[in-house]
Amino acid sequence: MAAPLASKAGSASTNSKPPFPELDFRSGARVEELNKLIQEFTKHDQREYDDQRALEIHTAKDFIFSMLGMVQKLDQKLPVANEYLLLSGGVREGVVDIDLDELNVYARGTDYDMDFTLLVPALKLHDRNQPVTLDMRHSALCHSWLSLRLFDEGTISKWKDCCTIVDHINGATNYFFSPTKVADWFYDSISIVLSEIQKKPQRGMPKVEKVEKNGTIISIILGVGSSRMLYDIVPVVSFKGWPAVAQSWLMENHFWDGKITEEEVISGFYLVPACSYKGKKDNEWRLSFARSEVQLKKCISSSLMQAYQACKAIIIKLLSRPKAISPYHLRSMMLWACDRLPANYLAQEDYAAHFLLGLIDDLQHCLVNKMCPNYFIPQCNMLEHLSEETVMLHARKLSSVRSDPAEHLRTAIEHVKAANRLTLELQRRGSTTSIPSPQSDGGDTNQPDDRLAKKLQQLVTENPGKSISVFINPDDVTRPHFRIDDKFF
């Protein structure tokens, strides 16, 4: 009987030992350590806005909207009552699917402190209840030409100088809206307006530190008080409804089913000025579902978003040369993962490390197979044009990340901390304070600004990426009137 007793004692002793820490099989990294590193990255990457910073954000946004009002007044091309989509993060952060190889490199901390993308409709087709059928005969999947025959004679007359002209055998002339010509017009118009504004600077007005045309987008960096804000302004064509080419996607089951309504998801889409690999740059636009992605983001757990942001920071640095993978590819993979995996698994708060490792594995799998389907139009492979050499080069780079994810996370943390230190140093030196802060008048007049700043801080943090409807009075472009969804101010 002694032996069994000894056996039981030994068994109890074994069970009393603390469990072995959970390890990542591939790298040997402790999952608990990876979770802590992701939390540290998130802490440094997502900074709190104080009242002063919130007011500076508002001042910059107000300036951009006033500038667009003056652009509209210049030649009446832009719609008077327009609807912009404001997104947190610049184009380089993958908030829209636009090629990054034509963009100048800007770095947070060195060039700017905060970045935004603003989609500005040059044309709107907003009165259609049926699925929108686009002219895709001449272009690759996810791309389209746009004929102005869809519009009235007044619109054609306004925009014909921004079109390519195709004459048919029957003698008819077709005007195709040109993304490159529209971008040229937009940049020239903005430059004229900014030149006029700077001739009569006003107290509290942002300082325009940089205006550059990057491919088909216009990048503006504003200095406001102690902040520098990057606005990537993208001229787009705006549609209400849903494109016929993506109609089958609605028939599938998705992770957002039951969480948000289909009406919210398919309320509208855009054509953005981006061309396919072999397409005609002067004619071809790319379908963008940025408005839908803002809604879908509401259904993604915070732990998965933290993993996505950390993974994005790693790949932006690692896979920058040659430019083949953008953060938008990673975003698409995350949306596919949300459809593939159980919601209760993705909702686990302490699984950020698992999600990070999974995103790296997914990205490597996509590269090795040269296959990354567009989330909304799955038949469109966003990696199809890449060479075997390029995909294997990036896959090998990702293999090094997968072998030591903790070290790459530490590097990402150091980069974001360095960017924050640069921002703080520039604030201390007052490098952007040549234009007075909007709160610098002193006295009791600051009281209303404080209240406004607090409200704006709440709006900025609670409503990133919301649709902003703007009515510009062409006779008083200094006062834009806008709302964020149903909130007016």
| Average pLDDT estimate for 397-412 | 95
End-to-end CA distance of the chain: 83
| Average pLDDT estimate for 81-91 | 92
Query: In the numeric block, which tokens belong to residue 330?
Result: 């990673």
Residue 92 region by backbone torsions, left for phi larger than 0, else alpha for psi between -120 and 50, else beta: alpha
Inter-residue contact 159 to 235 (CB < 8 Å): no
Check whether 278 has a pLDDT greater than 80. Answer: yes
Environment class of residue 434 by beta-carbon count within 10 Å: exposed (0-12), middle (13-18) or buried (19+)?
Answer: exposed
Tell me what pLDDT residue 97 has: 95
132 vs 247: CA distance, rounded Å: 10
Partners of 230 in beta bridges:
115, 221
Check whether 6 has a pLDDT greater than 70. Answer: no
pLDDT band at 88 (very low <50, low <70, confident <90, very high): very high
- Read off the amino acid at residue 416: V
Residue 156 sits at the vertex; the CA angle it makes with 154 and 160, to the nearest 5 degrees, is 135
Tell me what pLDDT residue 365 has: 96
Partners of 257 in beta bridges:
260
Structure confidence by residue, pLDDT tens digits, 8-58: 444 444 455 567 889 989 899 999 999 999 999 999 998 766 778 888 999
SS3 category, 162: helix
Check whether 168 has a pLDDT greater than 90. Answer: no
Structure confidence by residue, pLDDT tens digits, 175-230: 999 999 999 999 999 999 999 998 888 888 899 999 999 999 999 999 998 899 99
Give 442 or 365, the one with higher predicted confidence.
365
Inter-residue contact 290 to 95 (CB < 8 Å): yes
β-strand 114-125 against 227-240: which pairing, if any? Answer: parallel
Distances (CA, A) of 368 to 308, 391, 397: 20, 7, 12
Nearest CA to 316 among 222, 193, 190, 401? 401
Place of tokens 């599938």: 252
Check whether 374 has a pLDDT greater than 90. Answer: yes
| Average pLDDT estimate for 162-176 | 81
DSSP 398: H
Q: What are phi and psi of 374, to 5 degrees?
A: -65, 135
The pairs formed by 174-178 with CB atoms below 8 angstroms and a separation of 24 or more are: 174/147, 174/148, 174/149, 175/147, 175/148, 175/149, 176/145, 176/146, 176/147, 176/148, 176/283, 177/123, 177/145, 177/146, 177/147, 177/148, 177/237, 177/285, 178/282, 178/283
Tell me what pLDDT residue 92 has: 92
Tell me what pLDDT residue 424 has: 86
Tell me what pLDDT residue 126 has: 73
CA atoms within 13 A on the CB side of 157: 5
Check whether 146 has a pLDDT greater than 70. Answer: yes
Distances (CA, A) of 423 to 109, 111, 112, 426, 431: 5, 9, 8, 5, 10
* pTM for this predicted structure: 0.84
Check whether 115 has a pLDDT greater than 90. Answer: yes
Domains and CATH numbers, the chain: 31-425 (3.30.460.90)
Mean of the per-residue pLDDT values of the chain: 84
Nearest CA to 471 among 126, 161, 147, 78? 78
Tell me what pLDDT residue 157 has: 92
Check whether 260 has a pLDDT greater than 90. Answer: yes
Check whether 462 has a pLDDT greater than 60. Answer: no
Tell me what pLDDT residue 210 has: 95
Tell me what pLDDT residue 171 has: 63
Burial 402-411 (b: 16+ CB within 10 A, else e): beebbebbee
Query: In the numeric block, which tokens belong to residue 261?
Result: 């309504």
378 vs 384: CA distance, rounded Å: 13
| Average pLDDT estimate for 311-323 | 84
Tell me what pLDDT residue 439 has: 31
Give 62 or 430, the one with higher predicted confidence.
62
| Average pLDDT estimate for 447-451 | 41
